[in-house]
Amino acid sequence: MSRIYNFSAGPAMLPEAVLRQAAEEMLDWQGSGMSVMEMSHRGKEFVSIAAEAEQTLRDLMGVPDNYKVLFLQGGASGQFSAIPMNLLRGRKRADYINTGSWSKKAIKEAGKYCDVNVAAASPEGVLTIPTRAEWQLSDDAAYMHYTPNETISGVEFHWVPEVDAPLVADMSSTILSRPVDVSKFGLIYAGAQKNIGPAGITLVIVRDDLIGETLPGTPAIWDYQAQADADSMSNTPPTYAWYIAGLVFKWIRDQGGLQAMAELNQRKAGKLYDAIDGSDFYSNPVDPDCRSWMNVPFVLADEALNDTFLAEAKKVGLTTLKGHRSVGGMRASIYNAMPEAGVDRLVEFMREFERRHG
Ligand SMILES: *Cc1c(COP(=O)(O)O)cnc(C)c1O
């Protein structure tokens, strides 16, 4: 067996130790005589798996007691509508910051439910974040939404905005990559398939005073209060994905927690950006102040070499480096589970490719 270094933006690599444990427990989870996939979500075995996953996450992130942790379905995209349905609470307006593709999708969806004020936007084609001083916030916004890491363009906030309205963050591609002060947020959400676990489960961390008043017509499964009251089991949850997420949380804890992850991620990203900046052959188009630790796009000086680059990389076990179709070039997604050795191998390959083709 030989595992590749998979630079996919998501679903992405999972820690090998987690996959091994899942394999060991596949047919018989801890003497229960059944796979986690075969368990009733209401049985004591799965209820303990679910509760332990939540507690491990709470410990890792330091989630305060007045926040609910929900394990839902529908992806981060489902939250684009669930958020206005739950957080408008009788208000008519919400503020959004537009820093790229995922911001735009969140804005478009929210527009079905309320008046969206785009308080600031990155200039078209410029990969940067408008400074806080430029933001035109409304004084009656129900909440302020932003995308801390734009997965496609590799634009990341390295600061947490200070605003009066409850702060809502789509952390799909950056959650658990570093410590965050959860108390600064009204709501944090993330699809699992980048830094949490398998696709199919969506994490929502929400301050409890913000929930309980939904827009008329809100489906029951999108009602955060109802889901909180039912321990995220208003209907059958994605049990296996929840279990794997729990193993990933423990793996992060065993690596030393979020501070250790942050140091590792910063080092991994630094090696890749240094390699790109130190060459005339590769370049990264993002404002250096907002370069992502998780998704590193880069282009080759000669675009005609793109296919050769991808084919040769694949031959040495470096895969899924093709940039998003809207951006072109390359993108290396280097989430928590990408070993530092994978980044080293990529940097080595890039240097060697440049020597032969540059
Ligand atoms: C991947 C991603 C999404 C979409 O997630 P789904 O779970 O596929 O809906 C939304 N926002 C960001 C920032 C992402 O990276």
Q: How far is the CA of 152 from the centre of ligand 1 (A)?
A: 10
Q: pTM score > 0.95 for this model?
A: yes
> Does residue 1 have a pLDDT over 80?
no
List the 167-170 sheet strands across, edge first: 67-72, 202-207, 187-191, 167-170, 141-146, 93-98, 115-121
Going by CA atoms, what residue is nearest to atom 12 of ligand 1?
172
pLDDT digits (tens, 9 = 90+) for 147-156: 999 999 999 9
CATH topology for the 17-254 domain: Aspartate Aminotransferase; domain 2 (3.40.640)
Q: Is 109 in the pocket of ligand 1 (CB under 6 A)?
A: no
- Give residue limits of the domains in the chain: 17-254, 257-357
Q: Which of 107, 173, 294 has most ligand 1 atoms within 8 Å of CB, for mutation?
A: 173
Q: Is the separation of the CB atoms in 284 and 322 below 8 Å?
A: no
Q: Which residues are catalytic?
A: 102, 170, 194
Phi, psi of 188 (to 5 degrees): -125, 135
Q: How far is the CA of 85 from the centre of ligand 1 (A)?
A: 19
Q: How far is the CA of 147 from the centre of ligand 1 (A)?
A: 10
Q: Which of 77, 79, 107, 201 has most ligand 1 atoms within 8 Å of CB, for mutation?
A: 77
> Does residue 224 have a pLDDT over 80?
yes
pLDDT of residue 72: 98
Average pLDDT, the chain: 97
Q: How far is the CA of 334 from the centre of ligand 1 (A)?
A: 16
Please state whether the peptide bond connecting residue 11 to the residue before it is cis, i.e. omega within 30 degrees of 0.
yes
pLDDT of residue 125: 84
pLDDT of residue 124: 87
297 CB contacts (<8 Å, ≥6 apart)? 153, 154, 284, 285, 286, 323, 324, 327, 329, 330, 331
pLDDT of residue 127: 94
Q: Is 207 helix (H, G, I), strand (E, B) or coil?
A: strand
Q: How far is the CA of 60 from the centre of ligand 1 (A)?
A: 22
Q: Do domains 17-254 and 257-357 have the same CATH topology?
A: no
Going by CA atoms, what residue is nearest to atom 3 of ligand 1?
76
pLDDT of residue 320: 97
pLDDT of residue 328: 87
Going by CA atoms, what residue is nearest to atom 14 of ligand 1?
172
Going by CA atoms, what residue is nearest to atom 5 of ligand 1?
76
CA dist 73 and 172 (Å) reads 13
Structure confidence at residue 307 as a pLDDT band (50, 70, 90): very high
Q: Which atom of ligand 1 is closest in space to residue 77's alpha carbon? A: 9
Question: What CATH superfamily is the domain 257-357?
Answer: Aspartate Aminotransferase, domain 1 (3.90.1150.10)
pLDDT of residue 167: 98
For tokens 């900046």, the residue is 277
Structure confidence at residue 325 as a pLDDT band (50, 70, 90): confident
Structure confidence at residue 138 as a pLDDT band (50, 70, 90): very high
Structure confidence at residue 315 as a pLDDT band (50, 70, 90): very high
Residue 265 CB-half CA count within 13 A: 28
Structure confidence at residue 218 as a pLDDT band (50, 70, 90): very high
Structure confidence at residue 358 as a pLDDT band (50, 70, 90): confident
> Does residue 99 have a pLDDT over 80?
yes
Query: Percentage of residues in the chain with pLDDT exceeding 70?
Result: 100
pLDDT digits (tens, 9 = 90+) for 326-336: 888 999 999 99
